[in-house]
Structure 1
Amino acid sequence: MRKLALLCLPLLSTVAMAQDNSAKYAELITAKGMKDKLSIIASAEMEGRETATPGQKKAAAYIEEQFKKMGLKPGNGNSYQQVYPVYRDQLTDKKLSVNGKAYEWDKDYAFSLQGIASGDLSYANLVFAGYGVVDSANNVNDLAGLDVKGKIVMVLDGSATAAPAPAPGGGRGRGFSPASAAAKAAAARRAGAAGLIVVSADFPRRMPTPVRGNMYMKTPAVTPFTTVTVSAEVASALLGRTAKLSMDELKQVNKGNYVAELKISAVKTKENLESSNVIAVLPGTDKKDEYVFLTAHYDHLGKQGDVIYYGADDDGSGTTAVLQMAEAFTTAAKKGNKPRRSIVFMTVSGEEKGLWGSEYYSENPTFPLEKTTVDLNTDMVGRVDTERKLADTLNYVYVIGHDKLSSDLPVINEGVNNKYTKLTLDYKFDDPKDVNRIYYRSDHYNFARKGVPILFFYDGMLQADYHRPTDTVDKINFELMEKRVRMIFHTGWEIANRDEMLKRDIPLTMPAR
């Protein structure tokens, strides 16, 4: 017994010393250090860091290099990177003919990769449904009285009214205007149609229709529903007319069944790409088999033509925060102040695509999720919310998750903030009725859905330069960012060195994503 007690004394002393020294190591998180790193991460060389592009891979290599310089161990076996698959479809061949006459791509017709399947399709007749609008709110149903089951439906673009009904939620929700092509396709599909042809005046196309699709991580479900956009000339042929009808003349055509031989052919190929999460770990001492995660996403929107979306705040700021906190923790460890729990520093890609990287990690964790005590996620901490008209504009941070999953979270976070940084901690985005749905919009969510307690730190910048090329390093308030990141560091330090893992005692009551 006495020997055991003697062995424990140095450990208890070390823990107490570690807790006392957090303020000293927090001082290593400086505005200058963050500016130096962010100026590289959000530079033109990184080309906006879009997932599965050379720019993203350059950013991953830079982050890995920084982790290695700090002496951190790889977080995925012998590798610092956790690679995951990404795919993109490409349309390599396309054809459309009516009654044996072939038409030209982008002169007479076009279709998106999402609206067509590989293979050959043939239809002997179609149903013309006017504008094809189904809008129960305004008692409009252009499909009424028409038998569309198993047939392809042709509709005119737009609606009979000058101002189409707005989307639900004032255009900000997930709905579509009843006059949109997407809403018309949904209505026709519900009625049993095999596909939709939209007649558009936008031919010949002024801009080439993309033949490379969006990236995806999971193979989307194959849909048998076909969507094609055609010119007035193709529409006229489908209606049995030998002469081209104008768009105004097409508006006068009677709704009903028309006989025509329509043939569509498409060849789609799948491009295999890949992206990665960058993971490093600082092993703990007596509780090294338990883990504190510090996360951010390092991807952004890439380039459109020659225009770079730099993503300095979103989320170069969070990525820089993780690197600065890693520097502070590793310096402390080298000076004899190792954390009790292991600290995992993870920057993920694919966030802008739909939280891909964190989702992949949550399904393929390199450290047990049941032993992961917390995820402290940092996504946009370098700017000021332009909508925030309060006196604390230069001394706040939004904290999401404080009242969810663990009752320990607010006690610890508020405690270190009161002691060290004295920021205003604003919880407005924790409201389940938050119209912006912030709780679901960053990588902490994929930890939370697995039951891991989370805190998400965020500046609220949804206006101004959000998702624009003007989100650049010169807009960052590094003094405020320094204060925010120091507070996150103190929170992580406290959680890493406390006696118990965080309680998991509050059910997640947020609605499904």
Structure 2
Amino acid sequence: MRTLLPVCALALLSACSQHTTDIVTPEKVTFDESRFRLDIKTLASDEFEGRAPTTKGEQLTLDYLSKAFAEMGLDKPNGKDYLQAVPMVTYTASEQQSIQLGDMQLQHRQDVVIGSRHDVSKIDIANAPLVFVGYGINAPEYQWNDYQDLDMSGKIAVILVNDPGFALPDSGKFNGKAMTYYGRWSYKFEEASRQGALGAIIIHDTEPASYPWSVVENSWTGAQQDLVRSKDEQAKWIEVEGWMTLDVATKLFDKAGLSLSTISDRAASSAINIPLNQTASISFENKAQYANSYNVVATLPGESRSDEHILFTAHWDHIGLDPSKDGDQIYNGALDNASGTAGILEIARQFAKQAQNGNPLARSVTFVATTGEEQGLLGSRFYASNPVYPLDKTVAVFNLDSTNIYGRTTDYTIVGKGKSELENYLIAAVETQNRTAKSEKHPESGGFFRSDHFSFAKYGVPAVFAGGGSIPVDEATAEYKAMMKQQMKGCYHSVCDEYRENWDLSGALEDLAVYYDAAAVLGNNSDWPGYFSGTEFHSLRPAKTDNN
């Protein structure tokens, strides 16, 4: 239950109730909880139908965001509206599928999830050899190649999820328990395509995947969006891609005379590929539809260095509707990511208000609400490769994805902490709240590679994904958090991710203030943060210091 209490300055927050109506930064910028809450509630309402790209829900979302930015007086980068067209293709595989691995006839959704990103009316694969390729990684810098001396033409790769560091965290392999990009499903499909494979199927396992089978079923069935590829790129892409359950994989390996657990141990120790001496036959109807989706881009021009931009990103999309489900068919996506989208709106309002009051930043601040994040960071990938403002003039990216609904914390999470000097601005801001910045508790989930900031990091733009924490500020908050965690259990990419009136958003508002303060400082200086030595992106924009 939210109570209306007097506003507290950040320096005094520890003395305030956990349910604070507003949050005020040291510069007296007010973050309005009721407005923030209304934005979440509206974007996550049934009317918006789960905000899937290229649907009615998208149009409602675009209209809502455009109106909000217009009311703030933000600039339209293209001069006529706030929209950046993102050419997309939607692939829809039939629910009626014939999937046979070895001698097992499998059930779509229950046992396997298979799709295709090809513009063909039917997929019809007969007796394609199955090859186990360990983690499906080709990483020269780690002296690792699971495809060594292997011709994958006409074959389907069977791949473990995550990377070897997860299985052997103390071995020094890869990045230990913290997932590298080589552990992401998107990389595994990309690499299988580069290797000339006919298809790729990832073995799902809840712990290394960091999510249950229900997330696979909900996320990779129905309409699947992708960026439109060139004909050459499309020709090289695998014909089928998907997942199988751990139970199915265990049986498949048993029938091949192999123990999945034993062979997985070998795969973590060294690169491996083994023919399974079994084949796959896969058949289903398929269709492709082309339409533009849109990023929403709005800019508050800087006063003296307007060509230099600080970006705030949040994905507006979610999974949409699933008419095949009984009961509730709407994936409202309240936490993921109506909350983050509402967050950049609230931050934008505060910067716009300061500018109108005669306190503009030297640098420009641009807000990008991206499309297609749930389908593989599509909107941010498109922006990064087709930037509205040059990336070499983009100072930094602050990304919001699933803000804190569990109350105030004494700590603050920086996902993938230790990558760039940009984090120093967050650390300085969070210390004014008497909080401590830490890395995420479960780096094995690969959080740094799972949201829109990563699309910019790949080009060397310092980008952070931060917020929340794991330590409640007091016992009452701890009790509330335990209760809300139970209510939200299993709601990631599920129909139960709905707005709740009893959400405690005070912690989220504190996090908005951290981002605001960090950007405000960076917006008025001449610093260009870079990536620390030893990180994946150091060579693209090196840090001036190496204090990581």
Please give the range of the TM-score, normalised by the shorter of the 2 chains: 0.5 to 0.7
Q: Please say if residues 42 and 472 of structure 1, whose CA atoms lie closer than 8 Å, have aligned partners that are also in contact.
A: yes
TM-score normalized by structure 1? 0.62
Matches of 1:267 and 1:69 in 2, distance apart?
A: 46
CA distance in 2 between partners of 1:403 and 1:285 (Å): 32
Give the alignment partner of residue 215 of structure 1, picking from 225, 231, 236: 225
Pair 1:503-2:529 in alignment:
yes
Once the two structures are superposed, the pairs formed by residues 464-479 of structure 1 within 5 Å of their partners are 464=489, 465-474=491-500, 476-479=503-506
Please state whether the residue corresponding to 2:384 is helix, strand or coil: helix
CA drift at 1:348: 0.6
**AA in 2 matched with 1:53:** T
Decide whether the 8 Å contact of 1:382 with 1:476 is kept in 2.
no
Post-superposition Cα deviations, 1:427-464, rounded to whole Å, max 9, x if no partner, equal 236x9xx3111111111111111111122124479982
Is the CA contact (8 Å cut-off) linking 2:124 and 2:284 kept in structure 1? Answer: no
Q: Structure 1 residue 352: deviation in Å?
A: 0.7
The answer to whether the aligner puts 1:413 opposite 2:426 as a matched pair is yes
Residues 32 and 267 of structure 1: CA distance in aligned 2, closer, same or farther (over 3 Å): closer
- The unaligned stretches of length 5 or more in structure 2 are 1-23, 99-107, 135-151, 168-176, 201-219, 241-276, 471-484, 539-548
The alignment status of 1:423 with 2:432, answered yes or no, reads no
Pair 1:282 & 2:291 matched: no
Mind listing any 5+ residue stretches in structure 1 that lack a counterpart? 1-20, 97-105, 137-148, 154-164, 176-181, 197-209, 228-255, 257-263, 386-392
Q: C-alpha distance in 1, partners of 2:384/2:524?
A: 24
Residue in structure 2 matched with residue 356 of structure 1 by the alignment: 378
Tell me, in whole angstroms, the C-alpha distance in 2 between the residues paired with 1:316 and 1:193: 38
Partner SS for 1:279: strand
Q: TM-score, normalised by structure 2?
A: 0.59
C-alpha distance in 2 between matches for 1:411 and 1:368: 24
| SS state at 1:74 partner | coil
Paired residue type of 1:473: Y
Equivalent in the alignment of 1:250: none
Tell me if structure 2 keeps the 8 A contact 1:395–1:480: no
For residue 400 of structure 1, report the CA deviation from its aligned partner: 2.9
Distance 1:268 1:501, change over 3 A: same
| CA–CA separation in structure 2 for the residues paired with 1:501 and 1:323 | 25
SS for the counterpart of 1:435 is helix
* Aligned mates of 2:309, 2:444 — CA distance in 1: 33
Cα distance change of structure 1 residues 508 and 348 upon mapping to structure 2, 3 Å threshold: farther
**2:26 maps to what in 1?**
23
Deviation at 1:266, TM superposition (A): 8.9
Query: Map of 1:250-269 to 2, 5 A cutoff?
Result: none
State the alpha-carbon separation in 2 of the partners of residues 489 and 226 from structure 1. Answer: 45
The one-letter code of the counterpart of 1:300 is: H
Cα 1:412–1:473 shift into 2, 3 Å: same
* Percent identical residues: 26
Indicate the residue corresponding to 1:84 in structure 2. 86
Q: How does 1:310-459 map to 2 (within 5 A)?
A: 310-384=332-406, 394-400=409-415, 402-406=417-421, 409-419=422-432, 421-428=433-440, 434-459=443-468
Deviations, residues 268-295 of structure 1 (Å, cap 9, x unaligned): 6531122111011111111112111111
The 3 A distance-change label for structure 1 pair 44 and 494 is: same
Counterpart amino acid of residue 434 in structure 2: K
The root-mean-square deviation of aligned C-alpha atoms, in Å, is 5.0
Look up the SS of the partner of 1:83 in the other structure.
strand
CA contact (8 A) 1:74 1:80 kept: yes
Q: Is the 8 A contact 2:412 2:430 kept in 1?
A: no
Runs in 1 of length 4+ with deviation above 6 angstroms? 119-123, 126-129, 132-136, 149-153, 165-170, 172-175, 192-196, 223-227, 264-267, 460-463
- 1:484 and 1:86, CA in 2 relative to 1: closer, same or farther beyond 3 A? same
Q: Would you say 1:291 and 2:309 are equivalent positions?
A: yes
1:164-313 matches, within 5 Å, as 214-219=224-229, 221-222=234-235, 270-305=288-323, 306-313=328-335
- How many residue pairs get aligned? The number is 388
Matched residue of 1:404: which SS? Answer: coil
